[in-house]
Chains A and B, each alone.
Chain A
């Protein structure tokens, strides 16, 4: 997956777990928590969905990398570069 495809995938997950939010104006550089009503259970949902959809494992010590869209895509790029977007 390309960084753009990874971003689309994360957006798709966020649409599922945060259906009341308007994601069109999401700022990739700002922390998710500063823009969206997300709590720790929601972040676990991101981790869980990546595991279920793509078998991507994110160890707990790396959760901090999921702070913003930019940091998430940067973190996931090497883990998902060989995954073909379906």
Chain B
């Protein structure tokens, strides 16, 4: 009897403990609207492939962010001269023959590398995957400037004789080039195209991939963004003429969003592509799931070519939260778009204050402070930089904030030192671009 009673007390304690854990679990993993959808409408991340100025795979990129390692370097480009840039050093010949690299574009090579890495990381049986059911959706800020500048430079040497203009120019500059090069390299025969969305493109690629999966237009999406922008002098010259190009005697300190001494953008190259799948498919093959797209939104300022509109930005964030069925305080981490320009950073902070100003839970950081602005890849790269916080519970800081601009002093900013021991269930990723294009994605821990 005594033994039974003791056993009963033991079982009761065990059950109570389980209930407590369940309660904690329910409190921690807050329900979202996506979780109410059937599994074939829920979109999850099962692979990540990337190259960033400070890392050529997901884990080394994360490591660089946690170690506060910058990828910004001195750089020189014809006509413009010396400047700074975020430069990638991935092995172009890892997945491409030399001939493919010569014939294609830098954006294509970045895309091919990231796509192959993502597929490998996903653990999918690629040899037996139906390539006609794979879609490629690559966000780009711009494409073709690099190749056009190169050709003009070449024919200048021939007194502008256009018969010396390369026959490779058209296939290199068609807007679908970076996605098409991935298709050629990997034998993918499903849909491929790029999404031109200025610097909101990385998020836009992810959103497009998710939508196509939900529409059953493909079974697997390779989605995200790429950029080759450091190879066009025009982007440096244009930002410089706009007084929006960063300079600093120490390259690693040049990209300094939210700091009073910020003086502009550090242009970067890079790419980050995700393998997206329907949850039902991911479960069926026993895939490791790295996050779920629980909400997203895109909208437009319709107010200015370059100046952002905080009202539309906050509206975009609210739309994404509504789609996710989440309250602002349930967002554990906001990955900001802030590029280090005086106006842009302030305007985004203004937008974020209206949404997250009263949130005690939400932390806010910025990844451009490490790598610069990777343009079409910025959204997807910065998201990848934060997604591993689901596992390690660390929020990497915005670096280079020696003196916080009072106009950017919003609650929850994580500055200069990482914040550890944080339970991260939801990451909200901002990505905005010229012509007033805004995009927000929310990824939940699974």
Query: Chain A interface (Cβ within 8 Å of chain B)?
Result: 16-20, 37, 41, 44-45, 48, 51-52
Q: Which of B68-125 contact A (CB under 8 A)?
A: 97-99, 102-103
Known A51-B163, A52-B158; contact A41-B168, beta-carbon cutoff 8 A: yes
What 10 new A-B contacts, CB under 8 Å, besides A19-B98, A20-B99? A17-B99, A19-B102, A20-B97, A41-B103, A41-B167, A44-B167, A51-B163, A51-B164, A52-B154, A52-B164
Tell me the bound Cα distance from A19 to B158 in angstroms. Answer: 25
Cβ of B166 under 8 Å from chain A: yes
Contact of A17 among B102, B154, B164 (CB under 8 A): B102
Secondary structure dominating the interface of B: helix
20 sample A-B contacts, Cβ–Cβ < 8 Å, listed by A number: A16-B102, A17-B99, A17-B102, A18-B99, A19-B99, A19-B102, A20-B97, A20-B98, A20-B99, A37-B99, A41-B103, A41-B167, A41-B168, A45-B167, A48-B164, A48-B166, A48-B167, A51-B164, A52-B158, A52-B164
How large, as a class, is the contact surface on chain B?
10 to 19
Q: Which residues of B contact A37 (CB under 8 A)?
A: 99
Tell me the bound Cα distance from A16 to B166 in angstroms. Answer: 14
Q: Which residues of B contact A48 (CB under 8 A)?
A: 164, 166-167
A73 to chain B, nearest CB (A): 23
Please report the number of residue pairs spanning A and B whose Cβ atoms sit closer than 8 angstroms.
24
Give A16's nearest chain B residue, CB to CB: B102
B259 to chain A, nearest CB (A): 45
Tell me the bound Cα distance from A16 to B99 in angstroms. Answer: 9
Q: Which 6 A-B pairs have the closest CB atoms?
A: A19-B98, A20-B97, A44-B167, A20-B98, A20-B99, A52-B164
Q: Which of B167-188 contact A (CB under 8 A)?
A: 167-168
Tell me the bound Cα distance from A68 to B285 in angstroms. Answer: 51
Tell me the bound Cα distance from A41 to B102 in angstroms. Answer: 12
B105 to chain A, nearest CB (A): 14
Tell me the bound Cα distance from A20 to B99 in angstroms. Answer: 7
Tell me the bound Cα distance from A44 to B103 in angstroms. Answer: 12
B382 to chain A, nearest CB (A): 35
A84 to chain B, nearest CB (A): 19
B2 to chain A, nearest CB (A): 81
- 0 or 1 for each of B148-164: is its CB under 8 Å from A? (1 = yes): 00000010001000011
Tell me the bound Cα distance from A41 to B167 in angstroms. Answer: 7
Give B97's nearest chain A residue, CB to CB: A20
Q: Which residues of A contact B166 (CB under 8 A)?
A: 48
Tell me the bound Cα distance from A44 to B98 in angstroms. Answer: 18
